[in-house]
């Protein structure tokens, strides 16, 4: 953990700092099923929050409601204290401040790697193309795929595509990045290279929400672990406390079921 973030976390109690992301009593339904139940959550600047839980627990949905890829039925979501707008240009503008990395990478298939990264900066932030390209090349170097700038996504491995997707998110200078199971679609030997990039982002103080099954990553990198089950946050703790002394039976069962293989 970086010194800067330790400072931030130390000030945790009683500070009046506005959280980067705040959820207030969020409820979400898919038809009859109540997938997010009264979720309240604050994520501070520089914090890395890892969301874990069994499949169907609502963790991906939680991640996707933050930038309104999923609508919510009730409650409030605020980014830097500003409620996420319902639709239109205001919503688009707010989304541009929050990066997102998906399980299936979702790179634009018709654009090469460099053009994938500069699309947002040029079209949304109205940066000069030349300037955006220079920065994109730096970001691609940072995630270790600078030599692939002229390739199209289909010519890259999954791990390389996901690192490009991270560079694409970074190019927007986001206030936070949401990772929705970023390594779940990867072959085992490629998981490490993506987690490495994410770890270095965390060290640099990026605010991150990470939905993942990578328990070692959670243990090493998270400032806080949220355990979701049945659409509710069942436990919320430091990784050390959560993994060594889970407070609930459900969390205990979940951890045991993972250990078994």
Partner 1 sequence: MSIQALLTQFGDKYVQALFTTWKLTATSFALAFVLGIVITVMRVSPVRPLRLLAEFYIQIFRNIPGASLLILLVYALPYLDMIFSYYTCVLMACTLIPAAFCSEYLLAGMNTIAPGQIEAARSLGLTFLQIIWRVVLPQALRSSVLPLTSLLVSTMLTTALASQVPLNPQDLTGLVSYINTHAVGGVTAFFISAALYCATAVVIGQIGSWIDRKVRILR
Alpha helices in 98-248 (DSSP H): 113-123, 129-142, 158-170, 188-203, 215-221, 239-244
Nearer Cβ to partner 1 (123/253): 123
- Closest approach, Cβ 162 to partner 1, in A, equals 12
Phi, psi of 24 (to 5 degrees): -120, 110
Question: What is the footprint of partner 1 within residues 86-125 (CB under 8 A)?
Answer: 87-89, 92-100, 102, 104-110, 119-120, 123-124
How far is residue 186's CA from residue 190's CA, in Å, rounded to a whole number? 6
Query: SS3 for 23?
Result: strand
Question: What is the footprint of partner 1 within residues 118-177 (CB under 8 A)?
Answer: 119-120, 123-124, 152-155, 165, 168, 172
Give the single-character DSSP code of 27: E
- Closest approach, Cβ 168 to partner 1, in A, equals 7
* Residues touching partner 1, count (CB under 8 A): 33
- Closest approach, Cβ 152 to partner 1, in A, equals 5
Q: Any idea which residue has 């090469």 for tokens? A: 112
Nearer Cβ to partner 1 (94/202): 94
Under 8 Å CB-to-CB from 138, ≥6 apart: which residues?
none
Question: What is the footprint of partner 1 within residues 217-246 (CB under 8 A)?
Answer: none
- Closest approach, Cβ 126 to partner 1, in A, equals 11
- Closest approach, Cβ 220 to partner 1, in A, equals 26
Is residue 82 close enough to count as binding partner 1 by CB under 8 A? Answer: no
Choose among 43, 36, 20: nearest CA to 75: 36
Choose among 201, 211, 176: nearest CA to 20: 176
Under 8 Å CB-to-CB from 116, ≥6 apart: which residues?
107, 108, 153, 164, 168
Is residue 202 close enough to count as binding partner 1 by CB under 8 A? Answer: no
- Closest approach, Cβ 135 to partner 1, in A, equals 15
Positions that interact with partner 1 (CB under 8 A): 67, 69, 87-89, 92-100, 102, 104-110, 119-120, 123-124, 152-155, 165, 168, 172
């Amino acid at each position: 953990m970086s010194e800067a973030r330790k400072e931030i976390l130390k000030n945790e109690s009683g500070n009046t700092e506005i959280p980067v992301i705040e959820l207030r009593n969020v409820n979400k339904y898919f038809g009859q099923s109540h997938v997010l139940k009264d979720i309240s959550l604050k994520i501070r600047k520089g914090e890395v929050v890892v969301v874990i839980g069994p499949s169907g627990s609502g963790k991906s949905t939680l991640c996707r409601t933050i930038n309104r890829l999923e609508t919510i039925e009730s409650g409030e979501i605020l980014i830097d204290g500003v409620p996420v707008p319902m639709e239109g240009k205001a919503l688009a503008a707010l989304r541009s401040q929050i990066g997102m990395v998906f399980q299936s990478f979702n790179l634009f298939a018709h654009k090469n790697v460099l053009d994938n990264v500069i699309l947002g900066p040029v079209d949304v932030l109205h940066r000069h193309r030349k300037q955006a390209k220079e920065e994109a090349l730096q970001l691609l170097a940072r995630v270790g795929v600078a030599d692939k700038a002229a390739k199209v996504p289909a010519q890259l491995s999954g791990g390389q595509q996901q690192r490009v997707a991270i560079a694409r998110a970074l190019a927007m200078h986001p206030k936070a990045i949401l990772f929705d199971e970023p390594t779940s679609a990867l072959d085992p030997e490629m998981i490490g290279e993506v987690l490495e990039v994410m770890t270095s982002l965390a060290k640099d103080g990026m605010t991150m929400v990470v939905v993942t099954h990578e328990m070692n990553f959670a243990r090493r990198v998270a400032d806080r672990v949220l355990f979701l089950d049945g659409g509710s946050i069942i436990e919320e703790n430091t990784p050390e406390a959560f993994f060594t002394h889970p407070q609930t039976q459900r969390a205990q069962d979940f951890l045991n079921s993972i250990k078994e293989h």
